[in-house]
Amino acid sequence: MKVMTRPQIFGTGLICLDLIKPVEDFPHVSLGGSCGNVLMILSNFGWQTIPLARIGNDEAGRHILKELLKQSVPTDFIFIDSTSTPIIVEQLQTSNSHSFLLNCSNCKFKFGTSRLLTDQMIRNVLDEGLTKFVELPYGGSLYFYLDRLSRGLLELVMRMKRDYNATIVFEPQNLSLLEKFPEMHNYVDILKYSLSKRTKWISPPLDIPVVIRTEGENGSMIWINGDPERIAAYHVESFVDAAGAGDWTTAGFLYHIGERGLQSKKRIIEAMQFGHALASIKCSYVGPRTVLDVYSIDELKMIAYEIMEGQDISMRNGQLRNPDPNYAAKDIVCPKCHSIIV
């Protein structure tokens, strides 16, 4: 029997191509999406990450595959079909804010929509794939992250929990998914969602062991077995861009609880603080993962702990750098009208 030497995380949901358009610079092209960012960050932190995604046989899809392979991330569960690869454009503003473009400006085609795995793809994972990667039913050291849900994915969640005792991490765009699939309450260990006009009046589902509600610059509320805790955000001295900050919060939280799981309330609170500290570092740089071009992982961890201790930190200058210098955003076109997106 194999021995697990590092935490594993399977992930499915929004894995897309990010096109980041600065005010006065060329577009930056990178694998993105909430699920994509969380998995790639944790891969950099040394976890084994296994994405489950559906992409198109197009230039955007080929770039995603290229970036995964460069990071030595398994692509066994990256399914390629006739659909188009999801693309999201982040347009930066002079006011250090950003907007997202999800539709073609020429033909209005919605290219930013995540494509759920089909039932057949999920059956392929269940029947042939899981045992290839899952090394031991280790409980806290095996995770399954998802930000989308379907009846087929619910079956996958059930199998991951039943057969491998995986820690289930659910970060839905809309809490109504819990109403549509009430069975999820029996399997989710960590629920994370953002405070919004829609969720402001919704009571957190306290039957889930850990519930995290992020509130932007106000930090987050976290309920641990029903007990509430307020976790403050950290001040960002040189704020540039918040896109991807929530993904760093999630990845930092998961990294910090790591193999020890959710056994200690103190460690869960520290994990949330660590996630907020990483998010504050990220906010000094454009794009979700540009900070990884500026600091090593050891440096990021050291700075995060210094922030948690209340130390003043001066950030290095950083700039966008495409993972593949030969790759040009002009190759990314609308799947419908074929006009250049940015």
**144, 8 Cβ separation under 8 angstroms:** no
Section 271-277 average pLDDT? 96
Amino acid identity, residue 210?
A: V
Lowest-confidence pick of 112-126, 213-227, 241-255: 112-126
Is-above-0.85 flag for pTM? yes
Measured distance CA(49)–CA(70) in Å, rounded: 13
Mean pLDDT, the chain, rounded, equals 86
State the pLDDT confidence band at 307, using cuts at 50, 70 and 90. Answer: very high
Which carries the bigger pLDDT value, residue 290 or residue 317? 290
Topology classification of domain 8-312:
UDP-N-acetylmuramoyl-L-alanine:D-glutamate ligase (3.40.1190)
Share of the chain above pLDDT 70, in %: 88
Measured distance CA(282)–CA(286) in Å, rounded: 8
Measured distance CA(145)–CA(51) in Å, rounded: 9
Q: Is the pLDDT of residue 223 over 70?
A: yes
**38, 145 Cβ separation under 8 angstroms:** yes
What are the tens digits of pLDDT across the range 98-146? 777 778 878 888 877 788 999 999 998 988 767 777 755 444 488 999 9
What are the tens digits of pLDDT across the range 139-193? 448 899 999 999 999 999 999 999 888 999 999 988 889 999 999 999 999 999 9
Measured distance CA(91)–CA(315) in Å, rounded: 23
**56, 111 Cβ separation under 8 angstroms:** no
Q: What is the pLDDT of residue 126?
A: 87
Measured distance CA(208)–CA(175) in Å, rounded: 13
Give the list of residues 6+ apart from residue 134 with CB closer than 8 angstroms, or none: 8, 142, 164
State the pLDDT confidence band at 2, using cuts at 50, 70 and 90. Answer: very low
**157, 146 Cβ separation under 8 angstroms:** yes
